[in-house]
């Protein structure tokens, strides 16, 4: 099996390492040797340093996707520009493609899947979600007997590291982000990670293979952690919750939710105790119940572990002389059907709200009446005692399960009270027990 590797950066370098250092082990499991025939990178010096053999390297990735000798292309440059063109060309040239490119699959999955099927080659993307955790395989194969009801995952290591530091060491978001950048857990421009876009790409892919819907990134609701305050992390803890950036997708009979946002999770749940840069995905099947998959969600070697698992899968299939055994998106083509995506206003959750109000007799009665009028009950409420320089105490509370639109109406009403001092903080809660 002749492989062409495009991109020799972090994940590319890791992939080269796994394929070479574990070559003997992999051969024992496949019976077919995997030959890294060519490597492409703009940085020829780096490529030469990693690969050694000058004859194998090129700075033009199109050399690889057009090379008749190559059976399988590993695309690890990322993004949706040149990477898309390369993957399309490789598939059109009847080469199998393995990619870790979540943006590419989330935004152009549909057309690429069609192209792969038309050319009877395999498009594999295990590494695009949750790094080294074999979650695509678990959903598409291991849990295939189930109707998946929902998935909730911590699938962005950067934000999980930041949130863990904010909680454990009482840091502000800005300080924790800086620390994450120094340790290499966050990029110089951290926007994609901290604003939830990376997690949204990943959950979009999982929603497709879990529910048999086309990959549809546009429909996802995305909210990051950059506005999160230490205070709310501490208050959540008082109520028995941890705050995580959760990527959630749920199936309804005729609709689907896809959303990423900071979320309160009961601290007793295993997933609430996943800290640092680690990832975990909780999958609820109608027969198996909840199952959880935990591991490193990023980094050179963990991500490469998933890339190479895909390569091995393809080698094992090719050995028996046929194309994709597993439908690329888990469901057979004719069974992938568009479903309505709920807007965030239509989604039901419990809510954590924090109010900043001037203290006044009758205030709590005023507030609770607003909830009662809308038929929403308050499951817990704390009136934080008055501190040194703050005569107006914080009020924070947990609501019953309700449509977000209703909560927004309640918030408007409270914010229009004369006692209101500031914007109400709203964070969604997921109990993850049903």
- Minimum CB separation from a copy of itself for residue 292, in Å? 4
In this complex, which beta carbon is closest to a copy of itself, that of residue 305 or of residue 399?
305
Given 198, 313, 394, 404, the residue binding a copy of itself (CB under 8 A): 313
Apex 154 CA angle, 150 and 155, nearest 5: 100
- 423: annotated active-site residue: no
Given 183, 234, 255, 288, the residue binding a copy of itself (CB under 8 A): 288
Site size for a copy of itself (CB under 8 A)? 65
Q: Which of 95, 202, 250, 339 is catalytic?
A: 202
- Minimum CB separation from a copy of itself for residue 313, in Å? 6
Check: CB of residue 85 under 8 Å from CB of residue 61. no
- Alpha-carbon gap, residue 405 to 130, rounded angstroms: 32
Interface pattern 15-54 for a copy of itself (x via CB under 8 A): --xx---x--xx-xxxx-----------------------
8-state DSSP, 69: T
Which helix (H) or strand (E) is 394 found in, with range? Answer: strand 394-399
Q: What distances in angstroms separate CA 50 from CA 45, 254, 397, one per listed residue?
A: 9, 50, 55
Q: Three-state SS for 421? A: coil
Q: Does 386 bind a copy of itself (CB under 8 A)?
A: no
Check: CB of residue 190 under 8 Å from CB of residue 279. no
Given 37, 44, 175, 326, the residue binding a copy of itself (CB under 8 A): 326
Given 5, 180, 194, 308, the residue binding a copy of itself (CB under 8 A): 308
Check: CB of residue 190 under 8 Å from CB of residue 181. yes
8-state DSSP, 119: T
Given 134, 190, 196, 224, the residue binding a copy of itself (CB under 8 A): 134
Q: Does 293 bind a copy of itself (CB under 8 A)?
A: yes
Task: Identify the CA nearest to 124 among candidates 74, 199, 174.
Answer: 74
- Alpha-carbon gap, residue 340 to 213, rounded angstroms: 10
Provide the annotated active-site residues. 202
| Residues near a copy of itself, by CB under 8 A | 14, 17-18, 22, 25-26, 28-31, 126, 132-134, 137-138, 141-147, 212, 270, 273-274, 280, 285-296, 301-302, 304-309, 311-313, 316-317, 319-323, 325-327, 330-332, 335
């Amino acid at each position: 099996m002749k492989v062409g590797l495009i991109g020799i950066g972090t994940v590319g370098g890791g992939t080269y390492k796994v394929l070479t250092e574990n070559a003997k082990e992999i051969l024992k499991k496949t019976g077919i040797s995997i030959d890294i025939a060519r490597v492409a990178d703009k940085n020829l010096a780096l490529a030469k340093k990693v690969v050694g053999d000058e004859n194998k390297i090129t700075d033009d990735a199109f050399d690889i996707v057009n090379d008749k000798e190559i059976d399988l292309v590993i695309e690890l440059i990322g993004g949706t520009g040149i990477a898309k063109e390369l993957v399309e060309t490789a598939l059109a040239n009847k080469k199998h493609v393995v990619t870790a490119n979540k943006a590419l699959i989330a935004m152009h999955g549909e057309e690429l899947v069609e192209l792969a099927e038309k050319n009877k080659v395999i498009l594999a993307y295990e590494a695009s979600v949750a790094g080294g955790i074999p979650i695509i395989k678990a959903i598409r194969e291991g849990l295939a007997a189930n109707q998946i009801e929902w998935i909730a995952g911590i699938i962005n290591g950067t934000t999980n590291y930041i949130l863990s530091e904010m909680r454990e060491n009482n840091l502000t978001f800005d300080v924790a982000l800086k620390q994450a950048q120094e340790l290499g857990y966050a990029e110089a421009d951290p926007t994609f990670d901290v604003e939830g876009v990376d997690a949204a790409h990943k959950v979009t892919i999982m929603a497709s293979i879990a529910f048999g819907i086309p990959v549809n990134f546009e429909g996802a609701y995305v909210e990051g952690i950059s506005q999160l305050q230490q205070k709310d992390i501490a208050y959540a803890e008082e109520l028995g919750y941890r705050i995580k950036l959760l990527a959630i997708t749920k199936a309804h009979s005729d609709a689907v939710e896809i959303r990423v946002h900071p979320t309160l999770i009961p601290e007793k749940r295993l997933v609430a105790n996943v800290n640092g840069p680690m990832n975990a995905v909780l999958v609820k099947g109608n027969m198996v119940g909840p199952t959880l998959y935990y591991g490193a969600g990023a980094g050179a070697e963990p991500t490469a572990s998933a890339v190479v698992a895909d390569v091995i899968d393809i080698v094992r299939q090719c050995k028996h002389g046929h194309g994709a055994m597993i439908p690329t998106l888990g469901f057979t083509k004719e069974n992938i059907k568009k479903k309505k995506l709920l807007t965030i206003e239509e989604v039901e959750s419990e809510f954590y709200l924090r109010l900043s109000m001037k203290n006044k007799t009758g205030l709590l009665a005023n507030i609770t009446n607003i909830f009662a009028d809308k038929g929403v009950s308050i499951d817990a409420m704390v009136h934080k005692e008055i501190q040194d320089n703050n005569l107006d105490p914080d009020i924070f509370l947990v609501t019953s399960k309700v449509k977000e639109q209703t909560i927004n109406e309640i918030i408007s009403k409270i914010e229009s009270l004369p006692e209101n001092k500031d914007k109400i903080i709203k964070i969604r809660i997921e109990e993850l027990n049903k």
